[in-house]
Every structure is written in structure tokens, then in C-alpha cells.
């Protein structure tokens, strides 16, 4: 077939998300480029890959299922090829494709990446922001070179390198009586209406924190956006629990909210770098790990604990 690896990725992303528009948004490319890839693929195969459903996205046809299955094998092989030759040259790619947990994009990634570029080379950054599940899918399909996320939920793709531990904290309206305290208990938080950062795996993690009380808070506001969580708390919808705080030059909190430590002993999640290189990491990945650790040591607020160990997910989640 005359399709490129990139075009195969476009078609697979449409199959993953069920919509050309959603694939365009997640890949940060035009819908016309995706439609062109689909048209070429269907022309090469001589059959339709997707059934178009107005206002309801697309559905993969039986012939399309066979195509997508074969395409994923090809993408996996291409990723393995890139991994295998990654250490043959000590060079930084001209375009560094990084995925990050969506809130990280506004909270620290640009400043950290600026530090990376200043220390290695002039490189173009392609940053894809998604949830914990999307990041693993993108990594497995070769859409990104590495991912920065939390070690929460099921990590089934690649090798993780722990960067730093980030304890949970409470986000409160400034007029809440608890805001006058130096720290709060989960049992006190559970009595307030809750604003939930409602992303795959993230929502489960946040609500599971309350299971030690056998009582979960009443969720009054759901959102996928970290910024909207802050705005909802400031607008009086309730309180929230978050892990990451604005770091360095990131936009600081307004006057309507305060952050307080949680007194309960809760296991802190870690920020991790996920890649497919195992122990044979190329130079650009090793440098990325070194610099993101240095960033959190130098710029991160108190309470962060920089890690040094590296483990394969099968050793952690078996």
C-alpha cells in the first residue's frame, strides 16, 4: 500500500475515538488531512473502512476491522524499529513528540521543556495532552516518543521511570471555615460538596481516597479541566482534591481559593516518564529524565519528593 506510517496512525486514531473531529483534535492536525488518509486507505483496500453516521461520528466496518487490526500491527512494528535503532546515534530528534497528562500542559510542561531545550539542542516540540488511558494508547501506536503522567490506574504500556511523589491536597473556597486551618482531615472534606476532576482513572483515584472513611463526598460538579476545577471552587460549587500545584511561571491561584495539606496518611502518586525503550534508552530520553528531575528539585514546591528508581510496570502491577 502507498500509505505512510503517519497516515496509518490517522486512520487508527479515528477508529479509537469514533470521530474524525475527535481525532483531529487529539492529533492537532486538520480534518482534511485525516479524511485524505481515510480516502487513500479505502481506495487502496477497495472497501470502506468506516460507515459515516451524521452527527454521530463513524463506525468501523467489518472490512475496516481487518484493516485497523493489520495497521496496528504495522504501527507496533514501526515503534519497535524506532526503539531498536534509538541508541545507534546520540542525537536528539528534530521533532520531540511528548504526551502529557492534560493538566500538566498548563502547570509546568512548557517551563520544563524550555529547560530541556536550553540544555540539549534546538528542537521542535510537539506536545499532545490527554488522559492517562489516551497517553498509553498514543505511546503504543508510536504517536509520541514518551509520556509524562501519574502512576495511578493500570499502566500496561512501556517502562516507567519515577520522577517525584506528589501528595494530595485540598482546594477550598477562601470563605470556607476550613480555609483558616493549617491542614484538614478527609472526614472534614467529605462533608462538603465536591468538585471532581473527572478524567479516566483520575476520578477513580480521587474518590477512592475517601474509602478509608467508608463515605464519599457528594459530587456536585464534574469537569475534565484542571482550570475549571479551580474556577468552580472559587465560584462556590464546593471543594476539591488535587495533587499538582501551579509551578514556576504557571498561572497562580486567584484570591478566591486556598490550598491546604491533608492530615490523613495517603499514599502519594508519582509523576512518571513512560517510554518503550526499556533499559536501552537513547540519549534524548535519558536527558529528558535527568532534566525533568532537576526541574522538580529546583522549581517544584515543598512537599515534592524526587525519585530515582526505574521499574517495568509488570513488576509493579502483577
* Listed residue (92, 146, 162) closest to 277, CA to CA: 146
> Average pLDDT in the 211-216 region?
84
Distances in whole angstroms, Cα of residue 188 to Cα of each of 155, 184, 194: 32, 7, 12
Bridge partners, 311 (sequence order): 160
pLDDT recorded at residue 301: 64
Distances in whole angstroms, Cα of residue 245 to Cα of each of 67, 81, 254: 43, 38, 13
Highest mean pLDDT among 82-91, 218-227, 295-304 belongs to 218-227
Q: Are 111 and 299 in contact (CB under 8 A)?
A: yes
Cα separation, 129 vs 106, whole angstroms: 10
Residue 164 has pLDDT above 60, yes or no: yes
> Average pLDDT in the 100-108 region?
94
Residue 305 has pLDDT above 70, yes or no: no
pLDDT tens sequence across 173-207: 999 999 999 999 999 999 999 999 999 999 999 99
Q: Are 14 and 50 in contact (CB under 8 A)?
A: yes
CA atoms within 13 A on the CB side of 110: 9
Amino acid at each position: 500500500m502507498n500509505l505512510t506510517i503517519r497516515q496509518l496512525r490517522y486512520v487508527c486514531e479515528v477508529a479509537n475515538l469514533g470521530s474524525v473531529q475527535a481525532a483531529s483534535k487529539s492529533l492537532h492536525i486538520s480534518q482534511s488531512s485525516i479524511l485524505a488518509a481515510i480516502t487513500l486507505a479505502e481506495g487502496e483496500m477497495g472497501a470502506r473502512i468506516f460507515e459515516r453516521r451524521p452527527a454521530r461520528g463513524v463506525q468501523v466496518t467489518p472490512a475496516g476491522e481487518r484493516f485497523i487490526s493489520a495497521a496496528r500491527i504495522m504501527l507496533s512494528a514501526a515503534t519497535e524499529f524506532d526503539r531498536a535503532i534509538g541508541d545507534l546515534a546520540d542525537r536528539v530528534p528534530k521533532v520531540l513528540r511528548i504526551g502529557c497528562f492534560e493538566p500538566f500542559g498548563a502547570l509546568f510542561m512548557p517551563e520544563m521543556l524550555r529547560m530541556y531545550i536550553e540544555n540539549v539542542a534546538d528542537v521542535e516540540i510537539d506536545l499532545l495532552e490527554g488522559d492517562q488511558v489516551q497517553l498509553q494508547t498514543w505511546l503504543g501506536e508510536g504517536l509520541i516518543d514518551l509520556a509524562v503522567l501519574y502512576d495511578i490506574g493500570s499502566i500496561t504500556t512501556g517502562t516507567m521511570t519515577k520522577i517525584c511523589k506528589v501528595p494530595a491536597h485540598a482546594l477550598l473556597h477562601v470563605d470556607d471555615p476550613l480555609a483558616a486551618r493549617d491542614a484538614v482531615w478527609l472526614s472534614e472534606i467529605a462533608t462538603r460538596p465536591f468538585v471532581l476532576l473527572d478524567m479516566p482513572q483520575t476520578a477513580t483515584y480521587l474518590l477512592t481516597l475517601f474509602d478509608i472513611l467508608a463515605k464519599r463526598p457528594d459530587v456536585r460538579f464534574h469537569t475534565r479541566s484542571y482550570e475549571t476545577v479551580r474556577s468552580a471552587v472559587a465560584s462556590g460549587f464546593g471543594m476539591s482534591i488535587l495533587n499538582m500545584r501551579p509551578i514556576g511561571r504557571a498561572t497562580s491561584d486567584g484570591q478566591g481559593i486556598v490550598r491546604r495539606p491533608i492530615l490523613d496518611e495517603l499514599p502519594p502518586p508519582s509523576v512518571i516518564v513512560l517510554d518503550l525503550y526499556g533499559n536501552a534508552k537513547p540519549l534524548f530520553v535519558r536527558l529528558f529524565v535527568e532534566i525533568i528531575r532537576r526541574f522538580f528539585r529546583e522549581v517544584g514546591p515543598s512537599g515534592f519528593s524526587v525519585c530515582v528508581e526505574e521499574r517495568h510496570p509488570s513488576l509493579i502491577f502483577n
